[in-house]
Structure 1
Amino acid sequence: MADYLVTDVAALEALYGAPAQASLVKVARHLTPLYRQWIMASRFCVVSTAGEGGTDGSPRGDDGPIVQELDPQTLLMPDWRGNNRIDTLRNIVQDGRISLMFMVPGSNNVVRVNGRAVVSLDPAMLARFDQKGRAPRSVIVITIAEVYSQCARALIRAGLWTAGDESGDLPTIGALLAEQEASIDGDAYDSAWGARAAKTMW
């Protein structure tokens, strides 16, 4: 295998050739009207960060826009309740580099944002995400370095929105937990999950 590894950027570029013009001109350095429209339609994104412990990719979802715009250079993302691993937040505090992939159900396109982030406890920022008296514990403040659309080929190949429900034979989260820790009753975990999630969504 080692004989076939690509270890030189020039060799990699020679293999793939020049990028298409559209892939270069699509990049903006801040929110434009159309990129703003697209991102504000997204209720789901994947957040990627890097820190001293390695890399992390985290799904984020909301019942409305997943982010708010502070200004054309800045996005705000609430950190709603999760499992308290804080992998994303830890990486942001340690490193600050961040990438986001915004998706909208039914669209095979993805809009990507790269930039830097900080974790804020500013009461005014927390209040912007008030949910009937509930507020996030922190807000991720993202400074945009670049925003651009992603070619639709990946989602088309995967049939992400057209393949139908393929989850029937997947192991449950309880089963995955029980596989790692024998003392966990996977069936009990799965049975209790719905009620627990309803009480702790925000």
Structure 2
Amino acid sequence: MSQYPLDPAYLINDEEALRALFPQVTPIAAKKSVKQLDKHARELIARAPFLCIGTQRPDEQADVSPRGDAPGFVQVLDETTLLIPDRPGNNRLDTQANILANPAVGLLFIIPGFDETLRVNGTARITRDPKLLADSAVNGRVPLTAIIVSIEEIFIHCAKAFRRSKLWDPSQHQDRREMPSLIEIVLDQTSGRPDDPDEMRRLNDRLEETYRTKLY
């Protein structure tokens, strides 16, 4: 695969050159990183129905994956430990396999209506301890595993990205129908869509049925 030809004269290759381009970090920004959960971080986590988890693959390629559930789905086990239950997905197990190869993780907690986010960095392990998993059951269905995150760094991220993107502004919401469905996109990227429109409709209906019946 060809790579876009970047001009090496303008590439930044070390941190010193990078920092020379920007104003010095403010004292409060430098100090806002903490090592354990305080009351504010706990409340933000309790309110969050969504997070992104960043991991690194064995080949050192980066990966990020979404996790979503009812607010409070991430459990606080103690002041430095979180539990993220695994829910049914596509069974690629990218995040879990990455953690087994490299336990370093980064979490970004997002709360609808909040422009600020909470960032958590640490190391992760995977558990199938039934005592820990029991509290994450939904509709009687217990997750097969959970990700345990040992916190090393926590800080709240400012609102600029969300203010610029206007993420929560309904007037900026786009019409999902303007693009193909998920299954149509995947088929376009792999084996191709079926010629029969009725078959394509059945595939879309099957995906929606999975959403309705297999979230847990």
TM-score w.r.t. length of structure 2: 0.88
Q: Structure 2 CA distance, aligned partners of 1:142 and 1:46?
A: 13
Query: Does 1:77 pair with 2:84?
Result: yes
Q: Structure 2 CA distance, aligned partners of 1:187 and 1:18?
A: 56
Q: Deviations over 1:81-102 (max 9, x none)?
A: 0000111000111100000100
Give the residue type in structure 1 aligned to 2:143. Answer: P
Q: Deviations over 1:119-146 (max 9, x none)?
A: 0111111112112321111010000001
Helix, strand or coil at the partner of 2:150: strand
Aligned counterpart, 1:178? 187
Query: Does 1:3 pair with 2:12?
Result: no
- One of 62, 69, 80 as aligned partner of 1:55: 62
- One of 2, 7, 23 as aligned partner of 2:29: 23
Aligned counterpart, 1:114? 121
> Where in structure 1 are there 5+ consecutive unaligned residues?
none
Q: Structure 1 CA distance, aligned partners of 2:9 and 2:108?
A: 34
Number of residue pairs the alignment of both structures matches: 202
- One of 47, 51, 74 as aligned partner of 1:45: 51
> Where in structure 2 are there 5+ consecutive unaligned residues?
1-6, 195-199
Helix, strand or coil at the partner of 1:30: coil
Could you tell which deviates more after superposition, 62-71 or 76-85? 62-71
Higher Cα Rg: structure 1 or 2? 2
Residues 118 and 141 in structure 1, CA contact (< 8 A), matched pair in contact too: yes
Q: Structure 1 CA distance, aligned partners of 2:154 and 2:73?
A: 16
Q: Structure 2 CA distance, aligned partners of 1:147 and 1:187?
A: 46
Residues 48 and 111 in structure 2, CA contact (< 8 A), matched pair in contact too: yes
Percentage identity across paired residues of the two chains: 31
Give the residue type in structure 2 aligned to 1:179. Answer: D
Aligned counterpart, 2:3? none
Give the residue type in structure 1 aligned to 2:67. Answer: R
Q: Structure 1 CA distance, aligned partners of 2:8 and 2:73?
A: 42
Q: Structure 2 CA distance, aligned partners of 1:171 and 1:151?
A: 34
Helix, strand or coil at the partner of 1:89: helix
The 3 A distance-change label for structure 1 pair 187 and 56 is farther
Give the residue type in structure 1 aligned to 2:25. Answer: P
